[in-house]
Every structure is written in C-alpha cells, then in structure tokens.
A and B are shown apart, each in its own frame.
Chain A
Amino acid sequence: MNLAPATLGFTLPVFTADDAWTVATVACCATACALLGCFLVLRRLSLLGDAISHAILPGLAAAFIITSSRGAIPMLVGATVVGLITAVFSSAIHRWGRIPEDAAMGVVFTSLFAVGVILITWGARDVDLDPGCVLYGVLETIALHRVDVVGFSIPPAFVSLAVVLAVVVLVLTVAFKELKIVSFDAGLAASLGFSVALIHYTFMGLVAATTVVSFEAVGSILVIVMLIAPAASAHLLTDRLSRMLWISALIAIGACVAGYLLAVWVDTSVAGMISVVLFGVFILTSLLAPRYGVISKLAHRVRLAVRILGEDVLGMLYRWHERAALSGTAAVPPLSPADLRRGLQRPFLTRLALASLSRQGLIERAATVSLTPRGMDAARGIVRSHRLWESFLAKHLGLPLDHLHEPSHRVEHFITAELQSVLSREVGEGRDPHGSAIPGPGTASQQSQPS
C-alpha cells in the first residue's frame, strides 16, 4: 500500500489495485464465513467451527507432505477430510465416552492441532508454511501473486475464495429449507424423512472447505471470528432468518474494509485488525441493538420501574386526599417530594417518576405535591384496581387481612379497565376487606373529592 504524501499533517491511505484485490479477497472470505456462521450460531455449533479451524492443520500438512506441493486441490481435500473427522470424532467421543461435548471437542482439536504442528516442523519446515502464519495468515502478501484469468491479472487466492463464496451461496439458496428445518428442529426433520446426518455433514463439509480456503488468507483465528461475529451481531438485530443472512454478510464486508484501512493506518496485522473490528461490531451491537441490546433492555426496565413508581405516587396522593377529607388538612400534613422519595425508597427513580407525572399534567409540584383533576382520575383507577384485587383475594383465596396488600400492590399496575369490570362483577362495589371504599370508575367532574 502506498501512502499519500503528508498534506494535512497525517498520511491518507491511497487505494492501489493491490489493496483493492486484498480487500476483495478478504471480503469474499468473510461473506462466505458469515453466511455459514449464521447456521453455526443458531445451532450452537460455533465451537465446532473453532475446532475445525484448528484441526485442519494436519490435513494441510499431510497433503503437502504427500504431494510435495502446495496445490490447492490436495490441500482442500486433505483439510476437508480432517475437518469432517473432527466433527465425527467429537460427537463419537461425546456419545460413546459420555464426555461433555465441549471437552470432547477440546480433546479432538488440540490433539489434531498438535499433530499438525509436528508434521509441519518435521516435514514442511523449509517451505513457507510455518506455524505462525497458520494462526494469522498471510493476507498482506496475497495480492503479490497473480494469475491470468481471461485477460485479467487476478490473485489466485481471490479466485478460490470467490468460487467458495459462489458455492456457499448456491448451497444456501438451494437447500435453505433443509438447513432451516434441521437447524430449528432436527427431530421434526428426521420424522419427515429428511436425512439429518446427510444435511449435517454436508454443511460441516462446507464449513471445513470454506475454513481451509480462508485459512491461507486470514489464518485460523480470524476464521473463527468471521464465522461467529457477523452472525451473532445479526441475530441481535433481526427475527427473520433470511434477513439475518443478509445483515451478517453486510457486517462482514463492512468490517473487512474498515479493518483493512485501520490496519494500514496503524501499520499492523490486517487479519488481527479485522477480527478486532468484527469483535467491536459485536460488542456495539449487543449494547445498542434496538430490541435485544443491553441498553434497550435496561431502558425498558427503567421505564417500567418509573411507570410503576409513578402509579405508586398517584396511589399515595389519593390515599392522602382520602385521609385529609376525613380528618381535615390540618391533621394530615401535605406530602412533599422528599416525603414521597423517602416513602418509596428509590429516590432517584422516584425523582424521574415525579418529573414524568408532572410532564403529563397529572400532578402539580411545588413545596408539596398535589393531584390535578386528571391526576385524580388516574389515581382513582389505580386505587380501584388495588382494592378490587384485595377484595378478590380475600373472597376467593381466603387470605388473611395482612397478606392482601403486598400482592395487590404488585398486581395493581397490570389490571386493565376490562379486568376491572370483571373483578367488579365478581366482588361487587362497596368497600374493600380493610373497610376502605372502592372508588368508582367515574370521572373527576362527577366526583370532585373522594370520600
């Protein structure tokens, strides 16, 4: 990559043809991995992808030693076979040996990886297949080799990865239905007569082949991230399988471009930087995703808590009004915001709740807090729910008086108008078990003061 002359105090990367080829190659690889990864993640087989990407090393080395060349076909065959062996052995050890599945995979792939390292140091030492590039690939030099394809000078790695991507897309298009049903409910698939084993091992073969071809470009570790990160991010963003595939592909491509630029800027390993970017995308998604993100879940919980506290405030104010109407305002001092915060024990959330209530025009805040006419309506609804539910519990479950308040206090926030009328028919109007009047469903104009 060339760096443009320093013009603005820092250097801007300029895209040469070599850069474009490198990015295109790694993007092909990432897209193929991301598409397959969706099914791995959904089937909880992510670690099998991890295991395969480590375990294919002896396949590569054996193919090299046997054929004494780095021909693509023998390596692909050798590594795919070992990749499948990993899947078969792992499940055999898990089933036959009753070893936990993750441990079974750990046993198989570390052993195979060890065999691979020894084969490489022993038999293939003098060639540039050293264990280091096994882990993080030789992406930087990919564009340096070129072959002529119909008049264009193209890096061979790009050709093989483009073919892999095409095969992956083809298989996913043709067998989408089969992969979907085996992933969701293998038992149903088997009972419908689909050969689950055939689909499973075809798919794992595809994963192994993709891993092998990606291997040279990006190494075994980046392959793992490429398989899992885009798929996991997409799973947090959508509830449709087809959309999940599209989103994961887009994330993969975007991360390749961004990672490449960043790596050039910092001057470091491209494969490493792309995995960092992919991981970063996942972390951001898991925080910010609109429905399944951590922050949105947290916000939802806070909103719910504020709503509940707000309704508690209304209830407290309503009960104050009741008591004041009975014994006069002098005997019952009005409630200040501080009283409410103390009474509800969650000062910060109560502060939010008070702000929200006054924004809705339900309360007036000054030195003391009081209900507006609309607030009175709302408060009456809450207290009505509470007392109806207490009556219902007392009547049907025969709970003692001191056990009624707690459950009703929790349930009152979720009782709809419809349920209110059902309860009302069930227990009648009048007074709750403690002797307090159940407020009617009327509006403020009909009943200016609760009695």
Chain B
Amino acid sequence: MTIAEPNTSSADPAVPRATQHHPPGPPTAPAPVAVEVHDVTVAYHRKPVLWDVDVQIPSSRLVAIVGPNGAGKSTLLKAILGLVPLASGTVEIFGRSLRRARSLIAYVPQRESVDWDFPVSALDVVLMGRYGRLGWFRRPGRKDRDAAMAALEKVGMKDLAHRQISQLSGGQQQRVFLARALVQEARLYFMDEPFAGVDAATEKAIVDLLREIRRSGGTVVAVHHDLQTVPEYFDHVLMLNMRLVAAGPTEEVFTTPNLHTTYGGRLTLLDQAAEAVRRSTAPGAPR
C-alpha cells in the first residue's frame, strides 16, 4: 500500500485539480496548488483547536505557518498529514487524497517528539526515510544506504553517521531529521519548527537546504517561531490563531495589522518585523 506510484514524477498533478475546484482566478496564471485545506476543524475533546481553516498552499514555495503558542500550528500540519482526526473538512494534496499522495510527502516532526536514547545511529534514522518506498517487510539495501549517506553528506553529518543519536547535539539531531526527509525524495516537505534550538551554523545550513528544495521545484511548509526571520527565509505565510487570519505572499500578508490580529496585543517585536518586510520587499524583486 505504500509502493510509490510510478507516474508521479512525470505527470503534473496540479493541473487537473486547479481546473476542477477553483473558479478561474485572476488572469495571471495562479501558482499550482500543493495543498488544499478545505474547511478543516480539529477538536481535542471538547475544545476546538483549529476552527474552520480554509486555505490553499501554492507549490514551489517556502511557506511559514506563524501564530502564537496554542494557535494550532502543529495541529494544522498534523491534520494535513492525517495524524489527527478531523472533526470536519477535507485535505487534498496535489489534488489527490492523502493516501494516494503519501509518496510525495516528507515530514520532519519536532525534535522532542522522539526518544533520543533509542538505540539507533544517525544512519539508521536517515534510513527510516526510505521505509515508505520500500513498503512492508522489505529491508533497506545498498542503494538505500548510499542515498542515506548522500543525504547525511548534504547536511554535513557524514562523519557522524555511525554515532548513536543521543550523542549528537541539538543542531546535529535536527540535521539528521532533515537528512531523513531528504532521502524520502518528496515534493512536499512539512517541518515542525525546524529552527527550534539549533545553532547558527545549522540554521544557515537548513536555510540553504530549503532554498535548494525550492530550486528543484519542491515545496516546504514549516511551523516557524522567529518572526524576525520570516521575511528573509519564507516567501509565503499562513497566519494562524485557531482560525486562519491571513495567507499569501510574505510581502503582501506579513503586515503589522495582520500580525496584531494574529497575536493580539501581546507582541513587542511586531513592528520591527513588519519594517523588515518593507525593507526587504522595497526593490520589488521577489527572491
């Protein structure tokens, strides 16, 4: 059930779905849609965590999900990935159901979500990224191992491949997770706070990696905490506070009023961040 569909790379799945569900947009060609979240509500017990979120995420973009603590950012990722049950609504990825789009997706969870005392090496963890395409019961082979080593090299971790994961620093652990996502050779990457608690060098390495993914046509959707770096790192923003406050290209949406709506009155760096956007978008050239 997890065997990769053979024609995913050749066919462009975004084309049929854009004509199917959307009223013809403005005459300039709309970016193909990677994820379509349709009226999604998620409730834990009696409390709704996400309320009626309706948004499209364009492909080949670096997309940040921002919002205060408890705004449902991680929940939105998990809802898209089918890891939490939806109280209502639907999610489509490249115009398909989640089940049929699995092989196109890679997920980088929060670092705290796993037990780093687990007896595996960095290489083992990266190899797990290949399990999806291997399907049930097949063991990873030579080719998978090579791919894993290549991914580790890409994130600068080749020398530590055989290190037990508890002996890696926070930044190194995050790199291992990224390498694991890379070997999935996905077109759509979901990352839950990839920059949380990493050192400056790792942060830079991650940003370079994200840009490389975008260059090769991939899409990244990341929960992001540091508002200062949003305009520098991301070109599309989803602003969330239980409901969707705003979504769109960073330079249009990442504005002081929207930030105030998203965060209520309790933000101090907002105006600086908005100023940073204005500065970075002043020439008008999209990065």
| B137 x A190 contact (CB < 8 A) | no
The 0/1 profile, CB within 8 Å of B marked 1, for residues 148-189 of chain A is 000000000000000000000000001111101101110111
B residues in contact with A193, CB < 8 Å? 1-2, 99, 102-103, 132
Question: Which residues of A sit under 8 angstroms from B2, Cβ to Cβ?
Answer: 192-194
- In angstroms, Cα B137 to Cα A338, docked, is 68
A241 and B119 contact, CB distance less than 8 A: yes
B107 within 8 A of A: yes
Report A-chain residues with C-beta under 8 Å of the C-beta of B103. Answer: 193
Smallest CB-CB separation from A96: which chain B residue?
A: B45
Flag A99-130 by CB within 8 Å of B: 1 or 0 each.
00000000000000000000000000000000
> With the chains together, A189 CA to B83 CA distance in Å?
10
CB atoms of A239 and B164 under 8 A apart: yes
Q: Residues 232-251 of chain A: 1 if any B CB is under 8 Å from the residue's CB, otherwise 0?
A: 00010011110110000000
Please determine whether A187 and B113 come into contact, CB atoms closer than 8 angstroms. Answer: yes
Known: A190-B82, A191-B81, A240-B119. A181 touches B131 (CB 8 A): yes
Indicate whether B125 reaches chain A with its CB closer than 8 angstroms: yes
Interfacial chain B residues near A244, Cβ < 8 Å: 119
Decide: A175 near B137, CB < 8 A? Known: A188-B109, A188-B128: yes
Which of B55-95 touch A at CB < 8 Å? Answer: 78, 81-83
Q: Is the CB of A184 within 8 A of B115?
A: yes
The reply to whether B83 and A42 contact each other, CB–CB distance below 8 Å, is: no
Q: Is B114 touching A185 in the complex (CB atoms < 8 A)?
A: yes
- A178 cross-chain contacts in B, Cβ below 8 A: 131, 136-137
Chain B residues with CB below 8 A from A396, complex form: none
Task: For B119, list chain A residues within 8 Å (CB).
Answer: 42, 235, 238-241, 243-244
Does A359 count as interface, using CB distance less than 8 angstroms?
no
A98 at the interface (CB under 8 A from B): yes
Q: Which of B109, B131, B134, B166 contacts A187 (CB 8 A)?
A: B109
Docked pose: A178 CA to B134 CA in angstroms: 11
**Contact size range, B:** 35 or more
List A contacts of B129 (CB < 8 A). 188
Check if B113 sits within 8 Å of A192, measured CB to CB: no
Known contacts A193-B102, A235-B119, A241-B119; A187 and B128 CB within 8 A of each other = no
- Chain B residues whose C-beta falls within 8 Å of the C-beta of A180 in the assembled complex: 120, 124, 128
Over the window 167-195 of chain B, the binary record of Cβ atoms lying under 8 Å from chain A Cβ atoms (1 yes, 0 no) is 00000000000001000100000100000
When distances are taken between beta carbons in the complex, the residues of chain A under 8 Å from B48 are none
Contacts known (A177-B137, A193-B102, A241-B120); A187 close to B83, Cβ less than 8 A: yes
Max chain B C-beta neighbours (<10 A), residue from A177, A178, A190: A177
Q: Which residue of A lies closest to B167 (CB)?
A: A239
When chains A and B are docked, how far (Å) is the Cα of A193 from the Cα of B124? 19
How far does the alpha carbon of A261 sit from the alpha carbon of B129 in the complex, in Å?
48
Q: Let me know if B105 is at the binding interface, CB within 8 A.
A: yes
- Verify B120–A177 contact, CB threshold 8 A: no
Interchain CA distance A240-B131 in the complex, whole Å: 18
Distance of A181 Cα from B121 Cα, bound (Å): 13
Prevailing SS type, chain A contact patch: helix
> B21 near A: Cβ within 8 Å?
no
> Chain B nearest CB: distance from A61 CB in Å?
36
Closest A residue to B109 by CB, please name it: A187
Shortest CB–CB separation between residue A236 and chain B, in angstroms?
A: 10
Q: A187: which B residues are within 8 A, CB to CB?
A: 78, 83, 107, 109, 113
**A98-B44 Cα distance, complex, nearest whole Å:** 11
What separation, in Å, do the CA atoms of A98 and B47 have in the docked complex? 13
Query: Are B109 and A240 neighbours in the complex by a CB distance under 8 Å?
Result: no
Closest B residue by C-beta to A184: B118
Is A184 touching B102 in the complex (CB atoms < 8 A)? no
CB-based contact B128/A185 at 8 Å: yes
| In contact, A174 and B137 (Cβ under 8 angstroms) | yes
Nearest Cβ distance between residue A68 and chain B, in whole angstroms? Answer: 41
Question: Which of B107, B109, B118 lies at the interface centre, i.e. has the most chain A CB atoms within 10 A of its CB?
Answer: B118
Q: Is the CB of B107 within 8 A of A191?
A: yes
CB distance from A107 to the nearest CB of B (A): 19
Asked whether B109 lies within 8 Å of A185 as measured between CB atoms, the reply is yes
| Contact residue among A98, A177, A181, A240 (Cβ-Cβ distance under 8 Å from B139) | A177
Pairwise interchain contact A177-B107, C-beta atoms closer than 8 A: no
Tell yes or no: B264 within 8 A of A by CB. Answer: no
Q: How far is the CB of A447 from chain B (nearest CB, A)?
A: 37
Q: Given A190-B83, A191-B83: A183 and B118 within 8 A (CB)? A: yes
B107-159 residues with Cβ-Cβ distance < 8 A to A are: 107, 109, 113-115, 117-121, 124-125, 128-129, 131-132, 134, 136-140
| Chain B residue nearest to A98 in the complex (CB) | B45
A238 CA to B121 CA, complexed, in Å: 11
Alpha-carbon separation in the docked complex, A428 to B90 (Å): 63
Q: Is the CB of A42 within 8 A of B115?
A: yes
Q: Which of A98, A191, A194, A240 contacts B105 (CB 8 A)?
A: A191
Residues of A at under 8 Å CB distance from B?
A: 42, 44, 98, 174-178, 180-181, 183-185, 187-194, 235, 238-241, 243-244
**CB pairs A–B below 8 angstroms (15 shown):** A175-B137, A178-B137, A180-B120, A180-B124, A181-B131, A187-B107, A188-B109, A188-B129, A190-B81, A193-B2, A193-B132, A194-B2, A235-B119, A239-B120, A244-B119
Q: Sorted from nearest, which 6 A-B pairs have the closest CB atoms?
A: A192-B132, A239-B164, A193-B2, A191-B107, A193-B102, A241-B119
Known A191-B82, A191-B106; further 11 A-B contacts with Cβ < 8 A? A98-B45, A180-B120, A181-B131, A184-B120, A188-B109, A188-B129, A191-B83, A191-B190, A192-B184, A239-B121, A241-B120
